[in-house]
């Protein structure tokens, strides 16, 4: 019987994906829920988002800080990877969880998966099978996580089929939709009044929510790429909430560029908004812009236009609310202007269908894992290709 679950979270975006699942497991009295916290959650430079993690009903938490000032270059990513493996192995050896639950494709998450795999601890992976063929490392890490994992919870039919095509046995794969729907369903986000007060925004005027991450394989271009976006946003003159990137290689350049726009009166620059405030902003935004997966996966839930800049999310499943655009200021400006002002496009967005499920995902994951037998069949994977 499965009774002890360990979750791992390494950054704000991935925690947003996991939060409703963690909450669901933690509220079940038959489950002991442990949480390992690492990455930018523990970094002041990126907003120390651990302070926003909901620890209610968590039986035990563990922290794995990265070495100071090493998180943003390629060598630093490898150094951080080794820290996670070294420290997580000690934690898992002590607490012996029945299952480790991971989400997404981050390098920290991959390090955790390698650790659990070689310690013969079953891994349940969320968001496997997705595509984002944008020249960064996420697809390779995500599919590698699939090959290391023992249970798979996909968000859509395409990803479900892709995981099986990777050679995974069908009994291990469950298409449950996105747990993000669960946050939305219970209204777990900041109100417009909270947002107006916290960010000094006029809610009755257009608001742009902007996040742009580096592309790891072209990290040296990150500064110039985000400058194109910020120049476009400055010229448009809309109220714009700008958040820091993730800690991939190239993030130093993006942060440097963002700080050059601190004096733009209608920019609101934050290292991190936190989950509740971010979702609240998403709900009232006139447009989400940048290259975060959030722009594709969460905006359909609120019927908000999204301008997807550059190649980072190329290939990812999208709804009709998304406008793809190159990293050229004039093109970005025109796309955002269309998203905010074009009545025909806005009407289409209001009717767009969410390709990532209808909710109830967290409970489905809980039910599957509670009904899973922890035996040799679970650990001994048989490839089907």
Q: How far apart are CA 313 and CA 52, in angstroms?
A: 27
Q: How far apart are CA 242 and CA 268, in angstroms?
A: 6
The pLDDT value recorded for residue 70 is 46
* Residue with the two structure tokens 């986000």: 189
CB 324 within 8 A of CB 317: no
CB 259 within 8 A of CB 242: no
Give 220's contacts (C-beta < 8 A, 6+ positions apart): 250, 253
Contacts 24+ apart (CB under 8 A), 51-55: 52/12, 52/272, 52/274, 52/275, 52/276, 53/9, 53/15, 54/19, 54/22, 54/23
Q: Is 196 helix (H, G, I), strand (E, B) or coil?
A: helix
The pLDDT value recorded for residue 73 is 64
Specify the pTM. 0.79
CATH number, domain 4-178+357-379: 3.40.50.2000
CATH number, domain 192-350: 3.40.50.2000
Q: What is the distance of C-alpha 67 from the center of its chain? A: 23
Domain assignments of the chain as residue spans, ordered by start: 4-178+357-379, 192-350
Q: Convert 281-312 into a string of H (helix), E (strand) and C (coil).
A: HHHHCCEEEECCCHHHHCHHHHCCCEEEECCC
CB 249 within 8 A of CB 216: yes
Mean pLDDT by 10 residues, the chain (385 residues): 93 86 94 93 82 86 75 72 94 96 92 97 95 68 95 95 96 94 81 96 97 89 96 98 90 95 97 90 96 90 95 88 97 98 97 86 96 93 86
Q: Which helix (H) or strand (E) holds 173?
A: strand 173-175
The pLDDT value recorded for residue 71 is 43
Asked if domains 4-178+357-379 and 192-350 share a fold, the reply is yes
Q: What is the pLDDT of residues 67-97, one digit of tens each?
A: 654 444 677 778 889 999 999 999 999 999 9
Q: Is 127 helix (H, G, I), strand (E, B) or coil?
A: coil
Q: Which residues pair with 267 in a beta bridge?
A: 240
């Amino acid at each position: 019987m499965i009774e002890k679950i360990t979750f791992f979270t390494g950054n704000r975006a991935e925690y947003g994906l996991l939060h409703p699942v963690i909450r669901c497991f933690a509220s079940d009295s038959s489950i002991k829920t442990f949480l390992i916290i690492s990455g930018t959650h523990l970094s002041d430079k990126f907003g120390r988002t651990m302070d926003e993690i909901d620890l209610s009903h968590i039986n035990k938490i563990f922290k794995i800080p990265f070495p100071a000032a090493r998180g943003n270059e390629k060598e630093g990513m490898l150094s951080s990877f080794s820290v996670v493996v070294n420290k997580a192995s000690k934690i898992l050896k002590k607490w012996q969880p029945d299952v480790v639950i991971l989400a997404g494709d981050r390098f920290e998450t991959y390090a955790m998966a390698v650790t659990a795999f070689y310690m013969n601890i079953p891994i349940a992976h969320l968001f496997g099978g997705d595509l984002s063929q944008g020249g960064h490392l996420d697809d390779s890490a995500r599919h590698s996580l699939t090959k290391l994992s023992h249970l798979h919870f996909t968000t859509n039919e395409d990803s479900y089929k892709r995981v099986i095509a990777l050679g995974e046995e069908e009994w291990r794969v469950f298409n449950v939709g996105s747990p993000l729907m669960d946050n939305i369903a219970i209204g777990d986000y900041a109100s417009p009044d909270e947002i107006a007060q916290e960010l000094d925004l006029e809610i009755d005027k257009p608001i742009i929510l902007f996040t742009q991450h580096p592309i790891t394989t072209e990290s040296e271009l990150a500064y110039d790429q985000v400058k194109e976006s910020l120049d476009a946003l400055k010229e448009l003159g809309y109220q714009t909430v700008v958040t820091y990137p993730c800690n991939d290689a190239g993030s130093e350049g993006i942060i440097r560029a963002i700080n050059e726009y601190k004096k733009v009166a209608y920019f609101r620059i934050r290292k991190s908004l936190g989950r509740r405030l971010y979702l609240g902003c998403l709900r009232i935004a006139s447009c989400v812009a940048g290259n975060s997966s959030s722009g594709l996966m969460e905006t359909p839930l609120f019927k908000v236009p999204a301008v997807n800049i550059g190649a980072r999310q190329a290939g990812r499943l999208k709804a009709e609310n998304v406008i793809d655009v190159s990293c050229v200021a004039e093109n970005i400006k025109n796309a955002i202007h269309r998203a905010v002002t074009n009545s025909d496009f806005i009407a289409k967005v209001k009717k767009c269908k969410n390709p990532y499920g209808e909710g109830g995902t967290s409970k489905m994951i809980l039910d599957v894992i509670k009904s899973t037998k922890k035996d040799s069949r679970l650990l001994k994977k048989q490839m089907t290709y």
